[in-house]
């Protein structure tokens, strides 16, 4: 049958939700069912640093129930993702193992940047509306209970994402003892946010004038619904409309709001601080239009699934977003962009020619590209300790769209570009680097080292390389009149390592221009 069903389960901080989708090339993605339940795992973690046994059991019960619902739609494919509460729970490995064992559902614990990327994909799934929004400079802000995440677009690419430890719930809780009245509370939040946003602005926003603010989370969709335009899936309000609604709502008590907008009372608790956060962001950035897409992580997961399995057609290239984000980081650390472009070109050629030898996936190609883009960032800190500095920078920087593991692979690849690759047995890591991932790192490192040799002097002596594979020999030919002695020498140094990994001998040739 042409129609496939997909189930997405998200284990969030306050809600666990199952959505069932149907997807077909002709009709796209369609939500069939949405089942959600309040399960406050976030509170457990906030108070006790771990998810309680009681809630763990409840989670298992809900997941088993969800399995049955999935069964009732004969769902063929599914994905279960857990977010911050699960990720930050100190017992998360044991917890994950236990819940997986009980329910038979494999759980992906998402890194923050992976989660944001999926959220972003959900928004981008409304392709036409989304494309229209990002014509102008746009920021996406995800208002969470314990932190908020701001992501920025440059032209139509997502370039940076930052987590600010200022959540709607935690801030409201923290400020409650000092609160004199609503106005005073507002003033305190404005002050707090001003400080945080100033820091963000200096580092990341530069001279971009943000016109659109896309708001995720905070339960604000329902109260903005009155402004939804016909035939539009994403609700948008102008600055003036937002302020009018803001004043209308902030004058009312929770139960009044609940009644007027037909939302459960418990949802209003995050709504008021979220609204305030939103107003501050809007005013700080000087935004014209605020967008409330109201999608959930599950929508992003479904879109991600459909896109990867080619169930639906889309024009936006999400890999480009990840690459753009990486480039923006490399610029921040003053990496030589021409050098990078040069290496990317040849590096990806090498990767493509060696497909049979390395057996890696297109995703690994992307990781290689990112490793190349970031391979020099350590120099920003220290010229001497490049490899460790680069490793630490990458591990401390969020690269939107990459999982924690993928970020590790990139960081290690960059690290071992200029330091020894230890044997697997000597590899000290938290456990995520298993044999398979070790091999990925080794292969990517070998390619990075080899191509890095080709622009040893960072002078782009050769604008173009051609890479050919013939039997056991990988020939890289430079077409240039420049003196390539230094490069050829370095190349020869790196060749044995490359050979030891792929059992292919790299050969460097220079061909003079006529």
Partner 1 sequence: MSELYGKPEYFTNRECSWLGFNARVLSEAKDKSLPLLERLKFLSITSSNLDEFFMVRVASLKEMVHAKYTGRDIAGMTAQEQLTAIARLAHDLVHQQYNTYNRVLVPALKQSGFVLITQFEDLSADQAAYVDRYFEENVYPVLTPMAVDSSRPFPLIRNKTLNIGALISKKGEKAKNEFATVQVPSVLPRVIRLPEGQDGTVYGILLEQVIERNIDKLFLNYDVVCAHPYRIMRNADLSIDEDEAEDLLKEIQKQLKKRQWGEVIRLEIEEKVEPKLLKILKKELGVKEDDIYSIQGPIDLTFLMKLYGMKGFEAYRDKPYTPQPVPGMNDTEDIFTQIRRGDILLHHPYMTFDPVIRFVREASEDPDVLAIKQTLYRVSGHSPIIAALAQAAENGKQVSVLVELKARFDEENNIIWAQKLEQAGCHVIYGLHGLKTHSKITLVVRREEDGIRRYVHLGTGNYNDSTAKLYTDCGILTCSEPIGEDATAVFNMLSGYSEPKRWNRLAIAPIWLRDRFTRLIARERKFALEGKPAHIIAKMNSLCDKQIIEALYEASSAGVKIDLIVRGICCLKTGIPKVSENITVRSIVGTFLEHARIFYFENGGDPEYYMASADWMPRNLDKRVEILFPVEDPRLCSEVKHILDIQLADNRKAHILQSDGSYEKVDRRGKTALNCHEYFMEEAIRRAAPEETKIMETRVFVPMEKPEE
Rounded Cα gap, residues 333 and 160, in angstroms: 14
**Residue 302 Cβ vs partner 1, minimum distance, rounded to whole Å:** 14
When the beta carbons of 262 and 471 are compared against partner 1, the nearer one is 262
Within 443-502, which residues bind partner 1 (CB under 8 A)? none
68 interacts with partner 1 by CB under 8 A: yes
Tokens 């309680």 label which residue? Answer: 52
Tell me which residue has tokens 């004043």: 247
Q: Please identify which residue in 144, 293, 294, 506 interacts with partner 1, judged by CB under 8 A.
A: 294
Alpha carbon distances (Å) from 294 to 224, 409, 476: 10, 33, 51
Inter-residue contact 158 to 152 (CB < 8 Å): yes
One character per residue 231-270, x = contact with partner 1 (rule: CB under 8 A): -------------------------------x-x------
Q: Which is nearer to partner 1, 188 or 263 (CB)?
A: 263
Query: Least distance (Å) from partner 1 to the CB of residue 380?
Result: 46
Residue 146 beta carbon to partner 1: minimum distance, rounded to whole angstroms = 21
> By the 8 A CB rule, do 282 and 245 touch?
no
**Minimum gap (Å) between residue 256 Cβ and partner 1:** 14
Residue labelled with tokens 């969020």: 398
For partner 1, which is the closer residue by CB, 187 or 265? 265
Tell me which stretch binds partner 1 (CB under 8 A): 23-31, 326-334, 335-343, 443-451.
Answer: 23-31
- With contacts defined by CB under 8 A, name the span among 26-34, 348-356, 405-413, 456-464 that binds partner 1: 26-34
- Least distance to partner 1, CB of residue 391, Å: 44
Categorise residue 423: left if φ over 0, alpha if ψ from -120 to 50, beta otherwise: beta
Among 58, 65, 100, 499, binds partner 1 (CB under 8 A): 65
Q: Determine, following the binding rule CB under 8 A, whether residue 217 of this chain makes contact with partner 1.
A: no
Residue 444 to residues 1, 190, 416: CA-CA distances in angstroms? 40, 46, 10
Which among 115, 125, 118, 95 has a CA at the least distance from the CA of 107? 95
Among 49, 53, 72, 255, binds partner 1 (CB under 8 A): 72
CB neighbours of 81 closer than 8 A, spacing ≥ 6? 8, 9, 10, 11, 107, 108, 109, 110, 115, 118, 297, 301
Nearest CA among 58, 59, 101 for reference residue 82: 59
Supply the minimum distance, in Å, between the C-beta of residue 215 and partner 1. Answer: 16
Binding site for partner 1 (CB under 8 A): 1, 3, 5, 15, 22, 24, 27, 30, 32-38, 65, 68, 71-74, 221-222, 262, 264, 294
């Amino acid at each position: 049958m042409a129609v496939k069903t997909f189930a997405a389960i998200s284990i969030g901080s306050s809600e666990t939700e199952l959505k069932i989708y149907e997807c077909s090339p002709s009709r796209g993605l369609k939500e069939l069912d949405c089942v959600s339940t309040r399960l406050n795992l976030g509170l457990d973690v906030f108070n006790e640093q771990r998810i309680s046994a009681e809630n763990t059991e409840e989670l298992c019960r809900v997941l088993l129930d969800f399995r049955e619902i999935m069964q009732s739609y004969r769902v063929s494919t599914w994905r279960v993702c857990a977010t911050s509460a699960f990720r930050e729970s100190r017992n998360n490995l044991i917890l994950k193992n236990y819940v997986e064992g009980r329910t038979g559902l494999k759980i992906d614990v998402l890194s923050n940047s992976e989660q944001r990327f999926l959220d972003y994909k959900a928004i981008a799934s409304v392709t036409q509306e989304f494309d229209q929004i990002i014509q102008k400079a746009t920021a996406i802000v995800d208002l969470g209970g314990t932190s908020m995440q701001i992501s920025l677009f440059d032209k139509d690419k997502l370039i940076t994402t930052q987590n600010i430890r200022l959540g709607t719930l935690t801030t409201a809780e923290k400020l409650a003892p000092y609160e004199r009245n609503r106005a005073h509370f507002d003033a305190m939040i404005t002050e707090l946010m001003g400080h945080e946003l100033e820091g963000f602005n200096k580092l990341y926003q530069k001279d971009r004038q943000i016109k659109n603010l896309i708001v995720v989370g905070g339960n604000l969709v329902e109260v903005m619904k009155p402004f939804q335009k016909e035939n539009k899936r994403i609700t948008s309000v102008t600055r003036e409309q937002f302020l009018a609604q803001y004043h209308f709502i902030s004058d009312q008590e929770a139960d009044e709001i609940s009644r007027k907008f037909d939302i459960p009372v418990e949802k209003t608790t995050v709504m008021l601080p979220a609204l305030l956060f939103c107003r501050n962001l809007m005013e700080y950035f000087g935004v014209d239009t605020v967008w409330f897409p109201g999608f959930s992580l599950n929508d992003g997961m479904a879109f991600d699934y459909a896109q990867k399995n080619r169930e639906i057609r889309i024009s936006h290239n999400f890999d480009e977003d990840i690459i753009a984000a990486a480039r923006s980081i490399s610029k921040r650390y003053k990496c030589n962009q021409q050098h990078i472009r040069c290496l990317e070109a040849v590096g990806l050629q090498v990767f493509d020619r060696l497909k049979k030898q390395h057996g890696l996936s297109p995703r690994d190609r992307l990781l290689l590209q990112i490793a190349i883009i970031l391979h020099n960032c350590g120099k920003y800190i220290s010229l001497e300790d490049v490899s460790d500095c680069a490793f630490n920078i990458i591990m401390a920087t969020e690269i939107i769209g990459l999982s924690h593991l993928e970020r590790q692979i990139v960081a290690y690849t960059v690290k071992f570009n200029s330091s020894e690759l230890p044997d697997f047995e000597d590899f000290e890591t938290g456990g995520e680097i298993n044999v398979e991932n070790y091999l990925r790192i080794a292969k990517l490192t070998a390619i990075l080292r080899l191509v890095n040799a080709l622009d040893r002097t960072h002078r782009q002596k050769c604008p173009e390389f051609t890479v050919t594979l013939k039997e056991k020999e990988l020939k890289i030919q430079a077409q240039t009149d420049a003196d390539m002695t230094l490069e050829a020498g370095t190349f020869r140094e790196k060749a044995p390592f490359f050979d030891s990994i792929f059992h292919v001998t790299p050969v460097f040739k220079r061909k003079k221009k006529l």
